[in-house]
Amino acid sequence: MSILSSIGRIATRYSASRARYRSERALLSLPIELRKDIGWPEILDAQNDRHLATATTLTKVI
């Protein structure tokens, strides 16, 4: 594993994170009625539930 491959992986993760952030910001800028029509609140809740489930699983393991 070289330094360049490590930097490349970091840059790729950063780019994906920025794209996700920009997409989320764009969706949050939509009117609430439109967000409900496309299912945005449910998607966000499902992601939060998944993160909570992962956190509780990790807590139980530790």
Question: What is the predicted pLDDT for the residue at 42?
Answer: 65
**Which domain covers residue 25, as residue numbers?**
1-30
**Are residue 10 and residue 35 in the same domain, yes or no?**
no
Are 35 and 24 within one domain? no
Examine the domain organization and report whether 39 and 21 are in the same domain.
no
Q: Is the separation of the CB atoms in 27 and 40 below 8 Å?
A: yes
44 shares its domain with 56: yes
Quick one: 26 and 42 in the same domain? no
Assigned token pair, 40: 């945005």
Domain total for the chain? Answer: 2
Tokens of 41: 């609140």
The structure tokens listed for 32 are 């609430």
Tell whether the model's pLDDT for residue 6 goes beyond 90: yes
Query: Does the reported pTM lie above 0.75?
Result: no
Contact assessment for residue 27 and residue 35, using Cβ atoms and an 8 Å cutoff: yes
37 in the same domain as 15: no
Q: Examine the domain organization and report whether 35 and 62 are in the same domain.
A: yes
